[in-house]
Amino acid sequence: MSATYLSYLYSFLIDNVLILMIGMLGVYVLTGLTGMFSMGQAAFMAVGGYAAAMLSKYLHMPLLVTMPAAVLTGTLFGFLIGLPAVKLRRDYVAIVSLGFSEALVAFLNNTASITGGALGLTAVPKYTTRPMIIVIFVLMILFIWNLKNSRFGRECIAIKSDELAAASMGIDVARVKLLVFTLAGAISALGGCLYVHTTTYLDSAAFGWTQSSMWIVMVFFGGVNSLTGSVFAGIVLGLIPEIFRFSDALRIVIYCITVLFIVNFRPQGLFGETELDRKTIKRIALAVGRFFKRVFAPSQAQEAEQG
Amino acid sequence: MGKLLEIYNLSKSFGGVRAVRDVSLSMDSNQIISIIGPNGAGKTTIFNLISGVYKPDAGRILFMGKDIVGKPQHEIARMGVSRTFQNIRLFKGLTVLENVMTALDAYSNYSLFSAMLGLPHKRQIDKTNMLRALEALQIVGLSKYRDEHPTDLPYGLQRRVELARAIVSQPKLLMLDEPAAGLNPSELAAFIGLIAELKQRFGFGILIIEHRMQVVNELSEHIYVLNFGNLLTHGKPQEVCNDPEVIKAYIGEDSSSVTNQKSLCQL
């Protein structure tokens, strides 16, 4: 492994994996926490991406304008698609969102004069830097971590687990679902904005249902309730195809086998419901301490266990 | 004095099955009322009609004088109607403490942004709610299980988590759907004591569906008997369990030999 290869992997991790993972965080909130399947979440990323791209390319707006604009557009679309979707049973939500994403791609392809159509938009200004992406990524993780540990997080998990019981606790199920749908749209749109200002290029094909389903795979791979798991899975699954780039035919196979292994042997996902919080860190520290005791002072440890 | 709950001529059918027919019922606050009857008599359906899961075909339900028919479930819950379920419905993925806190979250009024930013007033509200939830857990004797996941607890304890979740918001009407099912005799005695203590302490009206006559007789001031969706009779425990109609519904038509020796009070 040469240094150039490592630095390439690093740039790939920041420019590609982290940005796409911001899109995934939308899926985490929607599918992981609330149990609604969105097969078209990438379309919200496209919405944010195109909003930012067109504002910066045609109107020469700075990032301070394009980013809020992208998030607002994502919020608006999330709300509009959420309105009908939250009234449906959760399996139909997947179909509604899939329909939306396919319709959006078709729309983008047929308005080639402003969106570039299937050829895409090129020469979008590059606004992002790597430290900036990392900071935004970490902030988003922090926000969602806080969200999970608030009344909204609990309400979402309650709704996922049992809608009827949730409603009988006074939770307005439809309202919370709509809120989450809107929020997920906003988060994914932010990812789209960063994406377009990093790659400086945007085409509709990148945001089809394959990207959306990839995100669902990541969330389930990591463990549906666990933000730690989703982030871990996002990084690992995002890097696998790149690490195994040397064997072009095999890398997709390796990816699929990894996913199948997890689904088969750990259906609750790699992390299940565990988060890397204070409690878990303490537990790990204790376990490591015990392990070292056993290795370096076996007799003492045995005495302690017997006594 | 205004009644806590009044039900007039309530009816509900599912397809061809008339689950509840023309049932009327009334209760005061600080009163324990039981609904008994054989399986399929429509007891749980009445709970579901009161809490807004189903909309009645006919009839009126007044809660503290207000008509609640047609209101969505969460609004009825926020008015002060809470319940437990026959087949325990705790939230998987939340700890015992979080399960109980969920019942208070609907009343917290911080916004999505203060939640995401973890602002001080959000933390303040969550902390107050956590203390209240801990208090409820202490009342039902589950403090040490606060960080467990409910699915890891034995059945009897899961029932108590549900009870804690139902009382933590200090409702005005508490509906318990077969709360003593699956409890052994000593647990049952403890449970009866707990319910009596809760009523004393919080003064809410309690509506109980139960098969175990011990619970019904020891706790309730008034009993309603349902059979095939109809209200068979209602009255004081002593009157009801000696009623030949009630015994017939419970034990069957041709059981004169049994009923001669026992009334339901001894079951």
User: Which of the two residues, A306 and B198, has the higher pLDDT score?
Assistant: B198
Q: Residues A28-45: pLDDT tens digits?
A: 999 989 988 888 899 999
Which of A221-225, A247-251, B129-133 shows the lowest per-residue confidence on average (mean pLDDT)?
Answer: A247-251
CB A235 within 8 Å of CB A22: no
CB contact under 8 A, B73 and A155: no
Q: How many structural domains does chain B have?
A: 1
Q: Which domain, by its residues, includes A296?
A: 278-307
Interface test with B, best of A25, A87, A151, A283 (most B CBs within 10 A): A151
pLDDT of residue A18 exceeding 70: yes
| Backbone torsions φ then ψ of A56, nearest 5 degrees | -80, -35
pLDDT for B75-105, tens place per residue?
999 999 999 999 999 998 899 999 999 999 9
What's the confidence (pLDDT) of residue B259? Answer: 47
pLDDT tier at A177, thresholds 50, 70, 90: very high
Asked if A168 lies within 8 A of B118 by C-beta distance, the reply is no
List the beta bridge partners of residue B173. Answer: B81, B205
H-helix or E-strand containing B231?
strand B230-235
CATH code of A200's domain: 1.10.3470
Q: Which of B6-20, B53-67, B76-90, B248-262 has the lowest mean pLDDT?
A: B248-262
Is some CB atom of chain A closer than 8 A to the CB atom of B126?
yes
Q: Return the residue of A nearest to B100 by Cα.
A: A169
Comparing A294-298, B115-119, B195-199, B203-207, the range with the smallest average pLDDT is: A294-298
Mean pLDDT for the stretch of residues A6-35: 90
Question: In this structure, are A8 and A139 located in the same domain?
Answer: yes
Query: Which of the given ranges, A221-225, A274-278, B41-45, has the highest pLDDT on average?
Result: B41-45
For A129-140, how does the pLDDT look when each residue is reduced to its tens digit (9 = 90+)? 899 999 999 999
- Specify the pLDDT at position B123: 93
Mean pLDDT over residues B204-226, rounded?
89
pLDDT of residue A167 exceeding 60: yes
pLDDT average, residue stretch A253-265: 81
A140 and A230 share one domain: yes
Q: Is the per-residue pLDDT at A301 higher than 70?
A: no
Confidence of residue A213 (pLDDT cuts 50, 70, 90): confident
pLDDT tens profile B18-31: 899 999 999 998 89
Answer yes or no: do A170 and B74 touch at CB < 8 A: yes
pLDDT one-digit tens code per residue, A65-92: 999 999 999 999 999 999 988 888 777 8
A282 plus A236 within the same structural domain: no
Q: What is the pLDDT of residue B264?
A: 62
Range with top average pLDDT, A236-245, A267-276, B198-207: B198-207
Candidate ranges A3-7, A241-245, B136-140; pick with highest mean pLDDT? B136-140
Looking at residue A302, its pLDDT comes to 60
Residues A249 and A102 in one domain: yes
Candidates A75, A142, A150, partner chain B, best to mutate (most B CBs within 10 A) = A150
Same domain, residue pair A293 and A178: no
**Residue A296 CB coordination number (10 Å):** 9
β-strands B58-63, B66-67 pairing: antiparallel
Q: Which domain holds residue B77?
A: 5-266
What is residue A37's DSSP assignment?
-
Question: Quick one: A158 and A293 in the same domain?
Answer: no
Buried b (16+ CB within 10 A) or exposed e, A13-30: bbbbbbbbbbbbbbbbbb
Q: Name the closest residue on chain B to residue A165, using Cα atoms.
A: B89
How many domains, in total, are found in chain A? Answer: 2
Q: Which of B83, B85, B105 sits opposite A151 (nearest CB)?
A: B105
Q: Are A131 and A149 in the same domain? A: yes
- pLDDT mean over B113-140: 93
Is the CB of B91 less than 8 angstroms away from the CB of A147? no
Q: What is the CATH number of the domain that holds B88?
A: 3.40.50.300
**pLDDT of B156-186, one tens digit each?**
889 999 999 999 999 999 999 998 888 888 8
Mean pLDDT of chain A: 87
Cβ contacts of A12 within 8 Å, gap of 6 or more: A239, A242
A96 backbone φψ class: left, alpha, beta (φ>0; ψ -120 to 50): alpha
**Each residue of B255-264: b (16+ CB within 10 Å) or e?**
eeeebeeebb
ipTM confidence: 0.90
Same domain, A76 and A194: yes
Reference A273, options B247, B216, B93, B219; nearest CA is B93
Instruction: Tell whether the model's pLDDT for residue A300 goes beyond 70.
Output: no
Is residue A166 domain-shared with residue A306, that is, in the same domain? no
Q: Say whether both A180 and A296 belong to one domain.
A: no
Helix (H) or strand (E) holding B23: strand B17-27
CA distance B202 to chain A (A): 18
Angstroms from A202 CA to nearest CA on chain B: 30
Residue A25's pLDDT is 94
For chain B, the average pLDDT equals 88
Spatial CB neighbours of B260, under 8 Å, sequence gap ≥ 6: none
The H or E element containing residue A214 is helix A209-222
Q: What is the pLDDT of residue B263?
A: 58
pLDDT for residue B260 is more than 80: no
Query: Cβ separation of A172 and B103 shorter than 8 Å?
Result: no
Average pLDDT over residues B110-127: 92
pLDDT at A203: 83
Q: Provide mean pLDDT across the span B228-239.
A: 87
A257: amino acid identity, one letter: I
Quick check: B216 pLDDT over 80?
yes
Query: How much is the pLDDT for B261?
Result: 43
User: Is B205 within 8 Å of B27 (Cβ atoms)?
Assistant: yes
Find the largest Cα–Cα distance for chain A.
Answer: 80
A161: its two tokens: 């687990």
Percent of chain B at pLDDT > 70 equals 93
Quote the CA–CA distance of A206 and B59 in Å, as a whole number: 56
Over its C-alpha atoms, chain B yields an Rg (Å, rounded) of: 20
Beta strand B32-36 with B205-209: parallel, antiparallel or unpaired? parallel
Q: Is A150–B115 a contact, with Cβ atoms under 8 angstroms apart?
A: yes
pLDDT classification of A307: cutoffs 50, 70, 90: very low
Per-residue pLDDT, B242: 79
Asked if B126 lies within 8 A of A151 by C-beta distance, the reply is yes
Q: Which residue did the predictor score with more confidence, B51 or A278? A: B51
Residues A270 and A284 in one domain: no
Mean pLDDT of A9-29: 90
